[in-house]
Amino acid sequence: MTGGTPAPILVRLRVNGRDCAEAVAPRWLLTDFLRDRLGLTGTHVGCEHGVCGACTVLLDGEPVRACLMLAVQADGATITTVEGLAPDGARLHPVQEAFRQEHGLQCGFCTPGLLLTAVALLRDTPRPSDAEIRQGLAGSLCRCTGYQNVVRAVRRASELLGAAASRT
């Protein structure tokens, strides 16, 4: 019988605007890869089985659970993690700014997933109703906020993004 550890597989990705090529074990989750290999620990790991949404990242622009994907399945993809929302660190992304203004977070554990989900929601629906906001964020669990301020923050983010778009 043959056994042993499967050989690493080369994975090529564009993460937060930077190309990377890394050899990873086939069993590695995308969360492990982002956090442990690339040091992008803003991608949080809560339930590890697709329920809480804390690990949500954008994969080719769409929100996905990074705990439900193998890193090798993301080969060739473009990924945005929460670190990619404000890459220079000098200025918050409008969605982050709105969460700050409206107190849309407490402990912050769910926040990276909520932010990235909100970015995708507002790209597809720039002026969502409160019902659409709640529906759009329904896949993210938050133990702290009661969601009221989160909904307010997404509404505010819609205004900030709209104002920014009208200036360009």
By the rule CB under 6 A, 41 interacts with ligand FES:
no
Element containing residue 10 per DSSP (H, E): strand 9-15
By the rule CB under 6 A, 75 interacts with ligand FES:
no
The CB-of-139 to ligand FES minimum distance in angstroms stands at 8
Identify the residue among 10, 12, 91, 107 touching ligand FES (CB under 6 A). 107
Q: Which amino acid is at 85?
A: L
CA angle 124, 131, 157 (to 5 degrees): 50
Identify the residue among 15, 34, 52, 153 touching ligand FES (CB under 6 A). 52
Binding segment for ligand FES (CB under 6 A), chosen from 1-9, 69-77, 105-113, 130-138, is 105-113
The CB-of-70 to ligand FES minimum distance in angstroms stands at 13
By the rule CB under 6 A, 163 interacts with ligand FES:
no
By the rule CB under 6 A, 74 interacts with ligand FES:
no
# of chain residues touching ligand FES (CB under 6 A): 23
By the rule CB under 6 A, 138 interacts with ligand FES:
no
Look at residues 88, 61, 77, 81 and name the one whose alpha carbon lies nearest to residue 19.
77
Q: Is 147 helix (H, G, I), strand (E, B) or coil?
A: coil
By the rule CB under 6 A, 110 interacts with ligand FES:
yes
Look at residues 11, 66, 2, 62 and name the one whose alpha carbon lies nearest to residue 40.
66
Q: Alpha carbon of 73 to those of 25, 81, 108, 132, 147: distances in Å?
A: 12, 17, 28, 30, 32
CA angle 38, 44, 49 (to 5 degrees): 110
Binding site for ligand FES (CB under 6 A): 45-48, 50-55, 65, 67, 105-111, 142-145
